Amino acid sequence: SEVMTILILFHFSSFRDLKHFYLFVRSRMRSDFPHTVSYNRFVELERKVCIPLAVFLKMKALGQCTGISFIDSTPIRSCHIKREKS
């Protein structure tokens, strides 16, 4: 569906928020997505495609698990941690 494709493209784009990316798609990619809806309706449809998108990614985008996993434990530095001791 167009909604799933737009969501996947958003994660590969350099846009920081979905709304601006969606407005970009509606204005600049009209020929690729001829049946776009308003942003409010898109957000409603986004919730409905969450599970089908997860199933698609699980079946097609993820490779077969070999039993070996790597986790990056590099600490991320931050400033002014308000609840550091709680």
Domain limits for position 15 = 2-61
The predicted pLDDT at position 67 comes to 77
Task: Give the model confidence (pLDDT) of 14-69 as tens digits.
Answer: 999 999 999 999 999 999 999 999 999 999 999 999 999 888 888 877 777 777 77
- The candidate with the shortest Cα–Cα distance to 9, out of 40, 39, 32, is 32
With respect to residue 76, please indicate whether it lies within any of the assigned structural domains.
Answer: no
With respect to residue 79, please indicate whether it lies within any of the assigned structural domains.
Answer: no
Tally the residues of the chain.
86
With respect to residue 12, please indicate whether it lies within any of the assigned structural domains.
Answer: yes
The predicted pLDDT at position 84 comes to 65
With respect to residue 73, please indicate whether it lies within any of the assigned structural domains.
Answer: no
With respect to residue 47, please indicate whether it lies within any of the assigned structural domains.
Answer: yes
* 86 pLDDT tier (thresholds 50, 70, 90): low
With respect to residue 7, please indicate whether it lies within any of the assigned structural domains.
Answer: yes
With respect to residue 83, please indicate whether it lies within any of the assigned structural domains.
Answer: no
How many folded domains does the chain comprise?
1
With respect to residue 11, please indicate whether it lies within any of the assigned structural domains.
Answer: yes
